[in-house]
Amino acid sequence: MTLNTEIIHRNRPIAVFDSGVGGISVLQHIHALLPNETLHYFADSRHAPYGSKTPAEIEARCFEVADFLIGQGAKALVVACNTATAAAIAAMRTKYALPVFGMEPAVKPAAEASQNGIIGVLATTGTLKSAQFAGLLESYGRHVKVVTQACVGLVECVERGELHAENTLKLVAQYCQPLLDQGADTIVLGCTHYPFVRPLIEQVAGSRVVLIDTGAAVATHLQKRLAALDLLTSRGEAGRVWFWTNSEAKNAQQVIEELWGMPAEVLTLQVLPCR
């Protein structure tokens, strides 16, 4: 659909969502780069992880969340989830008349950073099985060895706020060791939840292994695209950041505030209203 910037006010919010709280890692980069923008974040924790769902289920869920966020006035959508991007980004860009930004595992920068030509990828099963990931390997993985590891259960640890728990460390070690055993000197954090356990990954992998995620790159691309479309806010003061969650956990706000790093305005919304 053709973007009509005349009907999208530049002071409206940028909306970000993920299958839970992981996309807050991307939100942090966006907020740091664009501090005057109003930001809306939806944590679809009730349906996390997307990686265990079919592409059709993920696409339907993305439409539902996007409809809600657009109903809140979003001028742009950031799909802060590698799995959701792979399953739904093309359909979303067709359906919605506003900029839609996605994520993809950082295979290209990892291949460029690797010294020995062996890179590891930690991701969900859905991301690793996607056509998008296969395309990344075809485009950027031809001259390097790419070893992958699906990390079942790690997203759930982050959703519970168990960032330093012994069980989380055991999972990190279980998933990182096969990559290290095959000689990976660079590891891609292929899920937006994983930067929150980066200290544990560094503990297991050691200081010589380079860890790469794409949050900063997404924020930079967002800034450049919105500037080109004349959609950056004209406000001179700091923008507000709002969170919605459909988590059923009693500590949902506590987890969001821990990941965000400061007190947060969090609204619980179990059922998304129709637009």
Residue range 157-183, pLDDT digits in tens: 999 999 999 999 999 999 999 999 999
What is the average pLDDT across 220-240?
95
CATH code for the structural domain at 11-103+216-268: 3.40.50.1860
What is the average pLDDT across 67-90?
96
Give residue 274's pLDDT band: very low, low, confident or very high (50, 70, 90): very low
| Domain ranges across the chain | 11-103+216-268, 107-213
CATH topology of domain 107-213: Rossmann fold (3.40.50)
The per-residue pLDDT for 51 is 77
Please identify every residue annotated as catalytic.
81, 191
- Using the predicted structure, report yes or no on whether residue 6 has a pLDDT greater than 70: no
Looking at every residue in the chain, the average pLDDT score rounds to 93
Domains 11-103+216-268 and 107-213 fall in the same CATH topology: yes
The per-residue pLDDT for 181 is 98
The per-residue pLDDT for 7 is 45
Give residue 131's pLDDT band: very low, low, confident or very high (50, 70, 90): confident
Q: Could you give the residue ranges of the DSSP H alpha helices within the chain?
A: 24-33, 55-71, 82-95, 107-113, 125-128, 131-140, 154-159, 166-181, 198-205, 215-228, 252-260
Q: Is the pTM of this model over 0.85?
A: yes
